[in-house]
Amino acid sequence: MTSPIKSQSIVLVEPSSGLGGCYTFAGHNEFEPLGLEYVAAYLQMNGYRTVVLRQGTASCEEIATQILRHQPAVLGMSVMTHAATSAAMISAVVKNANSSITIVAGGYHPSGDPEYARTQGIDYAVIGEGEETFRNLLDSIESSREPATVQGLRFLRDGAIVDTGPANRIGLLDAIPFPLRSSEILGNARMHGLMSPPPSLQRSVAVVLASRGCPHACTFCCSPSLWGRKVNYRSPENVLTEIDDLVQRFHTNALFFSDLTFNVSNSRVQELCKHLSSYKKMPRWYSMCTTTGLEAKTLELMSVAGCSKIGFGIESLSQETLHNIGKRKIFHEGELNTTLAACDSLGILTKGYLIIGYPWESALSLEQFKEAVLCLPIDEIRISFFTPFPGSEAFKQFEASFVTRDWSKFNAIRDLVISNDNGLTDETLKAFRQEVFRIFYGSPTYQRRVQCKIQRHPELRPAFDEFFAFLKSGGVLP
């Protein structure tokens, strides 16, 4: 006999907080909800019917109406910190309409914030990787088994939070089915900013994970609360099979490898790239790397395998700040320009991720930052605000200095959430960021370097043309 939950649907939703579209000069990528798609596929493999929805620009009431149309037994949400308030509002609306629906929240915020289990309307918080824990929770509900026996959960009982302890990491990633994707979601995905192919030529942009986890200890990063510090890998064969499926079914021509640090192991990257380069229909792709230990051979193989862009988590050009945020072991200033030059020679686009708004920052250090950035031989920069997320070491360190606990402001782009010891205001830092963008992209040095790169690699011209049009639309370039 079909079980009650398996005879109904499991609706999985990605809440948002209005952060859609290109809201910064650096551009904003719009990706598929990969975590939910993985959970959906895993649940379907185990006999549960699943539906994946995105809130996008819909109101909480509108997405709740969409959820209720499916008459779900369970609602699951993958919650980033900036969307935590929206997730709570959606839960309240859904529960008010049908109190029998079980609501489960997972992802970075519930994993990093133990108190999120107290949120009204949310029955369970999944901590860490979601596939097995969510399935085990549903199985326990099906069999009327005590949920406290399921590892990886937090939930409220008699006013106290029950924490069932961490679940084991999924070791054999090849055994997890490929994400449950849809043409609609992939068709609306884009990598904005500077990318080859440019946004207007991208088709069915997909996200692929070759590994889960990161071994580094950046204090502002909340990934340890979800993944721990161990890195687990998929086999190159499994990754290539997924990419072939994306190309054959969705005609995907652009990928983002969302590994937290793609080049943790040069040998594994090289092995993967050898497999990818053998595939004649390989889409162009973007990945995130560290400059430390990124071997020239690895870069060459990445280029041959279709890598068109690399993002580097530079964060700061001050050795003192790098020490303060725990990056002293994975960033060396002398390696940066060498790596950027190697990328340039191979025709790989480069992007630098930078942070301002540190609590110890001063007007003098900002000027030093600006001077250093202008000397970076890099194609694109993104400047975020220092934002300690729940689950990070910095959250514990600076929690007393927060000027707000409105989670929607913990987005690292639009709002500052921590007070500055040297009196730098929100307005000062936002104006400074805009000034850096204008000076950096408008400098003759940058323009000459880009033109030289286009001459050597003419296939990049459409990417730069579209990027410059984007910068002009934002008032960065005249």
Give residue-wise pLDDT tens across range 225-281: 888 889 999 999 999 999 999 999 999 999 999 999 999 999 999 999 999 999 999
Query: What radius of gyration, in Å, describes the C-alpha atoms of the chain?
Result: 22
Q: Are 189 and 175 in contact (CB under 8 A)?
A: no
Do residues 196 and 308 make contact, with C-beta atoms less than 8 angstroms apart? yes
User: Over the stretch 389-419, which tens digit does the pLDDT of each residue have?
Assistant: 999 999 999 999 999 999 999 999 889 999 9
Of 440, 420, 37, the closest CA to residue 208 belongs to 37
Percent composition of the chain: helix, strand, coil (DSSP 3-state, to 5): 45, 15, 40
User: Which residues of the chain does CATH 3.40.50.280 include?
Assistant: 9-128+130-163
Mapping DSSP to helix (H, G, I), strand (E, B) and coil, where does residue 166 land?
coil
CATH 3.80.30.20 domain range(s) in the chain: 173-473
Give the pLDDT confidence score for residue 17 in this predicted structure. 78
Categorize the per-residue pLDDT at 326 as very low, low, confident or very high, splitting at 50, 70 and 90. confident
Give the number of other Cβ atoms within 10 Å of residue 120's Cβ: 9
* Token output for 332: 């060396």
pLDDT (0 to 100) of residue 259: 95
101: left (phi over 0), alpha (psi -120 to 50) or beta: beta
Residue 24 has pLDDT above 50, yes or no: no
166: tokens are: 């961490």
Backbone angles phi, psi at 465, to 5 degrees: -60, -45
100 Cβ contact partners less than 8 Å away, ≥ 6 residues apart: none
**CATH 3.40.605.10 given to domain 173-473:** no
Q: Is residue 126 classed as helix, strand or coil in its secondary structure?
A: strand
Q: Is the dihedral of CA 390, 393, 394, 399 positive or negative?
A: positive
137 has pLDDT over 90? yes
Give the pLDDT of residue 330: 54
**Angle at CA of residue 354, ends 353 and 359, nearest 5°:** 145
Q: Give me the CATH code for the 9-128+130-163 domain, please.
A: 3.40.50.280
